[in-house]
Amino acid sequence: MTHAQDLFNQTPTSFSFEFFPPRTQQAAESLYDSMVRLEQLGPSYVSVTYGAGGTTRELTRDLVLRAQNQTGLNTVPHMTCVKQTEGELRDLLAAYAQAGVSNILALRGDPPSDAEHDWGTERFRYAAELVSFIKDQAKPLGHPDPRGFGVGIAGFPEGHPGTPNRMAEMDHLKAKVDAGADFIITQMFFDNRDFYDFRDRCELAGIRVPIIAGIMPVQSVPGMRRMSELALGMRYPAPMLRALRRTDGSDESVRRVGVHWATEQCRDLLDHDAKGIHFYTLNKSGATVEIYRTLGVSNSKQLLEGNDLGI
Ligand SMILES: Cc1cc2nc3c(=O)[nH]c(=O)nc-3n(C[C@H](O)[C@H](O)[C@H](O)COP(=O)(O)OP(=O)(O)OC[C@H]3O[C@@H](n4cnc5c(N)ncnc54)[C@H](O)[C@@H]3O)c2cc1C
């Protein structure tokens, strides 16, 4: 398994997929099939989310360990701070270290929306503290890599809703990198100009770690609404909304526009030297496979060397 510090040097653009742990055995089997199918595309890594407030702690761990032990996938578990004790997170890290998990995505998580959250009771208030904790724990827990875990963090091209002051927000992002983060995965965005501007602002702030673009192929209108609730601050650009309004509104036509939009975003990101593209798969393999086919990039070797077509 490959540490983040090596991972992003192996290919000009990494490709990765995000999954969430299902709650039923049947859904778990179907997700596992999707993961095996997507493994054939040779992703640099796959990541597994951590339910809000640690609600999927065991499910996340079990899926990560299964993928890690039974497939050749490089698995990156997400880990969050909200409502998590130091002991719970240390136990998880111990299981991951033992299984040879190389990298972890360290996040704050969101407090429950239905109640006023008491931050004073939390062991970790911000993701930067979790980054330091993960870095410090690797050695005592006997991680096989002398560098310990590689750590990824979240970045928000359109801004995080909790910090309207974008200069302060950049300071907080820099603090996570200074705490030891090795790479950034962005929130989903649908206008690449937001990503390029974010990347430039990071560069100006002295942030030198790889910044991975988060891409979500839209698959349905209810899904779009759900996402705009979950990814607060993110917007769907007018040209995309117009393209959707021109369809007959059927699921298939919405999906076709969504996949086409995401494919064009990816093509443009490749042209602009994005260090990586992270697909929010929503546990389905179809859209991602289609995008790969259209882009013609089925593995990192092809990305690295290209095809000599004489053009
Ligand atoms: C790629 C990706 C994956 C995700 N995966 C998950 C997941 O698996 N599970 C889940 O529950 N959520 C997940 N999320 C959502 C994420 O947890 C929330 O968006 C959360 O609100 C922000 O997390 P963060 O790690 O960026 O937090 P932080 O970096 O801690 O920032 C949170 C807010 O606090 C501010 N801040 C940071 N430091 C300070 C400081 N010292 N003083 C004052 N303000 C500060 C920041 O500017 C920001 O507004 C994911 C998000 C992304 C982009």
**Measured from the CA of 156, which atom of ligand 1 is nearest?**
53
Average pLDDT (128-145) is 94
Is 273 contained in some domain? yes
The residues annotated with a catalytic role in the active site are: 18
CA of 257 to the centre of ligand 1 (A): 30
**Measured from the CA of 50, which atom of ligand 1 is nearest?**
8
CA of 156 to the centre of ligand 1 (A): 9
Please report which confidence band the pLDDT of residue 28 belongs to, taking 50, 70 and 90 as the band edges. Answer: confident
How far apart CA 232 and CA 222 sit, in angstroms, is 16
Share of the chain above pLDDT 90, in %: 76
CA of 110 to the centre of ligand 1 (A): 7
CA of 107 to the centre of ligand 1 (A): 5
| Better-scored residue on pLDDT, 66 or 1 | 66
pLDDT of 308: 66
Instruction: For ligand 1, atom 3, name the residue with the nearest CA.
Output: 154
Please report which confidence band the pLDDT of residue 310 belongs to, taking 50, 70 and 90 as the band edges. Answer: low
Is 305 contained in some domain? no
Please report which confidence band the pLDDT of residue 305 belongs to, taking 50, 70 and 90 as the band edges. Answer: low
Enter the tokens of residue 186.
Answer: 């962005």
Average pLDDT (252-258) is 97
How far from 154 is each of 56, 63, 182, CA to CA, in Å?
Answer: 19, 21, 11
Instruction: For ligand 1, atom 15, name the residue with the nearest CA.
Output: 109
CA of 230 to the centre of ligand 1 (A): 12
Ligand 1 pocket, residues with Cβ under 6 angstroms: 49-50, 52, 78, 80, 107-110, 126-128, 154, 160, 162-163, 169, 172, 176, 185, 187, 214
- Torsion sign, CA atoms 173, 149, 1, 11: positive
Instruction: For ligand 1, atom 8, name the residue with the nearest CA.
Output: 49
**Measured from the CA of 160, which atom of ligand 1 is nearest?**
49
Please report which confidence band the pLDDT of residue 293 belongs to, taking 50, 70 and 90 as the band edges. Answer: confident
Indicate if the pLDDT at residue 299 is higher than 80. Answer: no
Indicate if the pLDDT at residue 304 is higher than 60. Answer: no
Indicate if the pLDDT at residue 303 is higher than 80. Answer: no
Is 309 contained in some domain? no
**Measured from the CA of 169, which atom of ligand 1 is nearest?**
47
Q: Which of 19, 47, 103, 126 to mutate to test the pocket of ligand 1 (most atoms within 8 A of CB)?
A: 126
Whole domain around residue 126: which residue ranges?
A: 4-296
Is 224 contained in some domain? yes
How far apart CA 27 and CA 25 sit, in angstroms, is 6
**Measured from the CA of 278, which atom of ligand 1 is nearest?**
1
pLDDT of 38: 85
**Tens of pLDDT, residues 81-100:** 999 999 999 999 999 999 99
Is 303 contained in some domain? no
How far apart CA 34 and CA 208 sit, in angstroms, is 34
Average the pLDDT over each of 14-23, 130-139, 230-239, 289-298 and give the range with the smallest value.
289-298
Neighbours of 71 (CB within 10 A): 15
Average the pLDDT over each of 15-19, 67-71, 179-183, 307-311 and give the range with the smallest value.
307-311
Neighbours of 241 (CB within 10 A): 13
Instruction: For ligand 1, atom 21, name the residue with the nearest CA.
Output: 110
Domain total in the chain: 1
CATH number for the domain including 280?
3.20.20.220
- Torsion sign, CA atoms 86, 87, 92, 96: positive
Average the pLDDT over each of 4-8, 108-112, 306-310 and give the range with the smallest value.
306-310
Instruction: For ligand 1, atom 33, name the residue with the nearest CA.
Output: 162
How far apart CA 275 and CA 134 sit, in angstroms, is 24
Query: Taking the chain, what is the end-to-end CA distance rounded to the nearest angstrom?
Result: 36
Please report which confidence band the pLDDT of residue 186 belongs to, taking 50, 70 and 90 as the band edges. Answer: very high
pLDDT of 162: 95
Indicate if the pLDDT at residue 120 is higher than 90. Answer: no
Instruction: For ligand 1, atom 43, name the residue with the nearest CA.
Output: 172
Is 271 contained in some domain? yes
